Amino acid sequence: MEINSLTIQSALDVLKKKECSARELVAFYLDRIEKIDGKINAFLTVDREGALQQADEADSMRANDVTKPLLGMPIACKDLFTTKGLRTTAGAKIIDNYVPPFDASVVGRLKEAGAIIIGKTNEDAWGHGSSGENSDFDVTKNPYDLTRVPGGSSSGSAAAVAAGMCLAATGTDTGSSVRLPAAFCNLVGIKPTYGRVSRYGVIAMASSFDTIGHMTKTVADCALVYETTSGKDLFDGTTPDIDVPSYAKSLGKGIAGTRVGIPKEYLSLPGMAAEVKAATQQAMKTLGLLGADIIEISLPHTEYAMACYYILVPSEVSSNLSRYDGIRYGHERSAFGAEAKRRIVLGTFALSAGYYDAYYKKAAKVRTLIKKDFDDAFGAVDVIMAPSSPALPFRIGEKSEDPLAMYLSDIFMCPVNIAGVPALNVPCGFVDGLPVGMQLIGPQFSEARLFGVASAYEAATQWHTKWPKT
Ligand code: GLN
C-alpha cells in the first residue's frame, strides 16, 4: 500500500479492511510532514498530540461499529479557520499568538464527521493574494516545482494535499483562493455558492464575497467532504435553509446532452498563455466526446470584473480589518504587511465622502451587471467551462513586486465570486511538468451538477493521478 497516494475514499477502505489503524494512518502523515515540510512550508502549526489522540478515539469508535463519513481522515485547515485550543494566525503577524476558544462551524462539522484536524496551513495574510507570497511567515513552495508558487491565498492547504501530507484541506475563496491553488497543485477545489457553507468562525476577508471550500485529490473526495460541511447554520444568517443533496450520488451519471458554455471573452484574453489555452481546448474536446453540447456564450461585462472586485473587496477588507487596531487584541497595527495596508488604504479611500458615489456605488452597480451576465448565460447552458488561470504556476518572486500583474492571475475567477455562483477547479493537463486546471461554473446551488460533470471528465482522463515526487 502506497500511503501517500491514498485518497479519502481509498483510505476509508484501508481502515475498513483493517489494513491499518487510524493511529497508524495519522502517524504516517505526521511523520511525512516532519520529513518533507521543511522544504515546502505548507504548515504553520502541526497538532501531533491532538491528532494522535483523535486518531485513537476514531479507532475505538470503529471498534464499536460507529460509522461516520470521514472517520479517521487527516484533514488540514487553512489558518483562517478558528480551531479550539489550536493557534490561528490568518497568516498574519498581528495575531500570531491567538488561540481561539471555539471551532469555526465547518471545523466542528468536520470533527463531527470523524475527521482529524492534523494542523493549520500557511496562507497569504488575511487571504490577500494569489501566490502565498503575502504570508507574514515563510513562502509556501509548489510541490511540483519548489521554485514556483503553489497559488494562493490557500497556498499551504493546496501544497499539503498535493505533497501527500494530509487527505484534504480547507480553504476560503473570496476571489480565487481555493480554485487557483487547486489549479496550480493539480487538485479538485470547490468554491461554493455564496452561503452554502457557513462562514462562522472563519476570519473575514470581504464578507459579501467570502466562501468556504476545500481541496482534495479527486472529485468523489470533494463531494464527500462538501456534503459534510454544507447547509444551514444558525450562526451564519447567510446560510439558507435549502436541503443538502447527496453530492456523492450525483457522480458517474454521464453528461450526454449537458449544455456546456464557453465564454468567448475568456479564450481571447490577450495575456493568455498559449499552452494553457491549448490544454483548455483539449479539455473542451473531451467534454464534447463525452456527449456534452459545447456552446459559445458571452459574458459581456468581463472586462470590468477586476476593477469592480478591487473596489468592493478592499472596501469590505478595510472595514473587517479595522478591528485589529491593537487595542483589543493582537499586536499593534504597524504589524500589518504591505498588502493588507494597500487594501486598507484603497478601501478607506473608495468609501470616503466624495468618492463613495464615484467608486463604491458604481462598482456595486457593475456587480449587478456581472451577476446578470451569468444569469443570462445560464438561461442557455447548464454549466460554463473556463480556464482557471491564464498562466502556469509562476516563479517565486516573479510577480511579487507588481501587484497589478498578480491581481490578473484571478481574471477568470473573480467574476464567479462577484456573481455568487459555485465553481469547481478540475485538473485538465500538464505543461512541462506543471499542472493546468479548468473551471466548471454553474448557477446557484448547482454543485451536484458540477460534481457530476467533473466526475465524468475525471473518469475519462488521467491528470488527477499524477503526483509530485516529494
Ligand atoms: N487573489 C484574490 C485577492 O487577493 C483572491 C483572494 C481570495 O480568494 N481570498 O483578493
* Residue closest by Cα to atom 5 of ligand 1: 175
Domain architecture of the chain: domains with CATH: 3-241+254-465 (3.90.1300.10)
Closest to 151 (Cα-Cα) out of 364, 436, 350 = 436
Whether residue 216 has its Cβ less than 6 Å from ligand 1: no
Q: What is the pLDDT along the chain (470 residues), one digit of tens a residue?
A: 566 689 999 999 999 999 999 999 999 999 999 999 999 999 999 999 999 999 999 999 999 999 999 999 999 999 999 999 999 999 999 999 999 999 999 999 999 999 999 999 999 999 999 999 999 999 999 999 999 999 999 999 999 999 999 999 999 999 999 999 999 999 999 999 999 999 999 999 999 999 999 999 999 999 999 999 999 999 999 999 999 999 999 999 999 999 999 999 998 888 889 999 999 999 999 999 999 999 999 999 999 999 999 999 999 999 999 999 888 888 999 999 999 999 999 999 999 999 999 999 999 999 999 999 999 999 999 999 999 999 999 999 999 888 888 888 899 999 999 999 999 999 999 999 999 999 999 999 999 999 999 999 999 999 999 999 87
Judged by DSSP in three states, 456 sits in: helix
Pocket test for ligand 1, best of 205, 406, 413 (most atoms within 8 A of CB): 205
Please count the residues of the chain: 470
- Residue with cell string 479492511: 17
Contacts of 135 (CB under 8 A, 6+ apart): 91, 122, 123, 124, 125, 129, 155
Pocket test for ligand 1, best of 124, 315, 404, 418 (most atoms within 8 A of CB): 124
Please state the atom number of ligand 1 nearest to the C-alpha of residue 176: 8
The alpha carbon of 116 and the centre of ligand 1 are apart by a number of angstroms equal to 27
Q: How far apart are the first and last CA of the chain?
A: 17
Active site residues: 78, 153, 177
